[in-house]
Every structure is written in C-alpha cells, then in structure tokens.
Amino acid sequence: MFDRIDHLGIAVHSIESYVELYRDTLGMEFLGEDVVEEQGVRVAFFAVGESKIELIEPTNDTGPIAKFLARNGEGIHHVAFGCGDIEGARASVASQGVRLLSEQPLDGAHGKLISFMHPKDTGRVLMEMVQRRHDSEDA
Ligand code: CO
C-alpha cells in the first residue's frame, strides 16, 4: 500500500530562517515552496534521496500549524507515506478502524492529493498519505 516515507513534516515559525540549515549545512537540495491557502500554511521541500523534508510555516494565527506551534513549539509534526492509490489506501485503513480527518482527499502542496489519519488511532503519530502524480515521480 505504502512504498516509501514521502516526507517528514516539520513545523517552524519561519521557513526562511531554516533554509540555510537544510540546504547549506545539511546539503539537501531545495525543491521549492508552495502556499496551501486552505490549510493556512506555506511549505518548503528539501530532498533526502527519494524522501523529503517538508518545512511548514503558518500563514495565519488560526490554522492547525499555528495551533501546533503555540502548543508544542517547533518540531516534527507528521510523517507522510507515499502511495499510488490514495483512495484505496484510505479505504483500507478506514476499514480497519483508523479514522480519517477529511471526507475526501485534500489538495496538498504542488497539487498532490493528501489525507491525514486521526492520531488517536495511530499511536499519537499524525500520519499523512500522499499520492504521487506519476509512478516515476521522485519529487
Ligand atoms: Co506533509
């Protein structure tokens, strides 16, 4: 069902203040930024082999990332598993009792479909599913 850790999501107050760390100090290729208005976030991706680091910065004070930062400070926010069929993955985990946080897949960064599982059903780890646009895609 899942074939890789697509990315780790890390909540930060300011993406700009961490570009130097990930790109220069850690030597990870910067893959670009995107704004996901409906989730109130700006995101930036860095490549680590076939996986990525996703830095997530809030664009308002009321979205889930702003609340996470207020409660926990900066740090790891979620793990995302890549799949080729997000509808199938949603149906599979839901049929085994894992609640989903949305009725339908959501539009994530770079136009990819994503879904989150309820962390109370996954050992208090926020898990995201992300569907690749193409099987060969690595970004
Ligand atoms: Co993510």
Percent of the chain surpassing pLDDT 70 = 96
Percent of the chain surpassing pLDDT 90 = 87
The residue-averaged pLDDT of 48-74 equals 96
Q: Which residues contact 119 (CB under 8 A, 6 or more apart)?
A: 125, 126, 127
The whole-model pTM stands at 0.91
Kindly report, residue by residue over 101-137, the tens digit of the pLDDT.
Answer: 999 999 888 889 999 999 999 999 999 999 987 644 5
Q: State both tokens at 1.
A: 């069902």
Residues in the chain: 139
* Alpha carbon of 128 to ligand 1 centroid (Å): 6
Report the relative pairing of strands 4-11 and 51-58 from DSSP bridges: parallel
Tokens 């979205």 belong to 63
pLDDT value of residue 111: 82
* Alpha carbon of 8 to ligand 1 centroid (Å): 7
List the shell of residues around ion ligand 1, using CB closer than 5 Å: 9, 54, 80, 128
Give the sheet arrangement for strand 127-131, strand by strand.
30-36, 41-48, 51-58, 4-11, 75-83, 127-131, 113-116, 106-107
Please determine, for residue 51, whether its predicted confidence score (pLDDT) is greater than 80.
yes
Q: Which residues contact 78 (CB under 8 A, 6 or more apart)?
A: 8, 9, 116, 125, 126, 127, 128
Greater model confidence, 44 or 108: 44
* Alpha carbon of 120 to ligand 1 centroid (Å): 18
